[in-house]
Amino acid sequence: MGGAPQFPVLDCTVLSSPEVASRCADEGGFDAITLDEHGVMLFFRGTGVSGCWDGEEGLINASWPEIQGPVDAALRIHHKESPGVHDNVYLFQVPGGQAGPQWAGAVSLPAGGDVFSYDLGLGVLKRRSWPGVSDCSAAARWLGRYYCFQRVHFLRFQPATGLVPPGYPRDARDYFMSCPGRGEITGSPPAPRSLLAFTADDANRTYAFRGGQYFRLDSKRDGWHSWPLNHTWQELSGQVDSAFNWDKKLYLIQGSQVYIYRVGPGYTLVQGYPRDLQEELGITGADATFTCPHSAELFVIHGNALQRVDLTLSPRSPRLEGSIPHAHVDSAMCNADGVHLFHGNTIHHYASVAELTTSPKPSPPQNMTAVLFGCPH
């Protein structure tokens, strides 16, 4: 698409108050929504399209000259086994423009009470029943979740059954739009100074936490988006101080307590949690915690001291691993690329824990916004 940003976050430009007020007061919703090949979420309405609901809207035919008038549905196909279509964007127009709610955004094509979906792997059309999902003016799939937009409201639903979790519908202006006094600005990289915890799971999904919000990044083409903690972890609210993954479980530390969630298609709180942090891990708190992939060792940072906890033991107790060349860090994460320490707007990278503890001085600082969010300096 001509003029689309080449970095993976959405280009959410703050507009003047009258324009913001007009968009936020509009109950019309969207005709179609999709991510493009660069990870920019596109919103279609009438003859216009914008790379963010808050950005400047352009004409559809300025980017796609062959398209005249509104589109009825849009999608980006993510299917690596078919390189000819993988990450291509498709726009749909129904002859006569009479699609109405029967087109739910090309994630599926509802007709009456049934839903028809096309299985790219098998090459067959499947029929399903989604009793809780109806009247979708647009739909989108993002980070493995499916959303039905009912004008300015939306549902999240399970694609196999069509079940909608409690708490829906919700107002898109609290999640997908930047409206004064409502929700969070979605799609923009979070303010680095306020990120208090990072972690990466075995599926290479990266999470960042601030306040009562979290950001998730599966790939740079999906962009960063902010959601309330209870959007994924229903029992959780408030601030996450540190986080780590081990044995297909996600550990979220708040003050003197730790929540443990089983990792699967969703997150399920392990029975009996939260529990006392010292009782569970043998520590009273931490500036940062991290585990490395396929390792049962938890590393805990207090000031410039690095402690190690063997998670296979019971009871667990920390042992001093060594010192690090940093007086303080805000958070830490270990993934296939090595150990990453975060302080303010900088990242310090080390190839391994051994390199971290033997380095006489901090590694060269890197700009967090550029490294994690793909933004220019």
Quote the pTM value. Answer: 0.62
**CATH: 4.10.320.10, 3.10.20.30, 2.110.10.10, 3.40.50.150. Which one for 192-373?**
2.110.10.10
CA dihedral 334, 336, 338, 344 (to 10 degrees): -50
Second CATH level (architecture) for the domain 17-174: 4 Propeller (2.110)
Give, rounded to a whole angstrom, the gap between the first and last alpha carbons of the chain: 24
Phi, psi of 170 (to 5 degrees): -120, 165
Q: Which residue has the tokens 């799971």?
A: 201
- Output the pLDDT for position 111: 46
- Output the pLDDT for position 141: 77
Phi, psi of 84 (to 5 degrees): -70, -25
The reply to whether 17-174 and 192-373 are identical in fold is: yes
- Output the pLDDT for position 101: 41
Rg (CA), the chain: 23
CA distances from 339 to 118, 154, 190, 345 (A): 41, 38, 21, 16
- Output the pLDDT for position 224: 59
What is d(CA 237, CA 221) in angstroms, rounded to the nearest whole number?
Answer: 28
User: Domain coordinates of the chain in residue numbers?
Assistant: 17-174, 192-373
- Output the pLDDT for position 56: 57
DSSP state of 197: E
Q: What is the mean pLDDT of each run of 10 residues along the chain (377 residues)?
A: 29 44 69 76 81 65 85 79 76 66 44 68 81 80 78 83 84 72 50 69 78 73 68 87 94 95 87 96 94 95 96 95 95 92 91 96 87 58
Q: Which of 258, 216, 242 is nearest to 341 (CA)?
A: 242
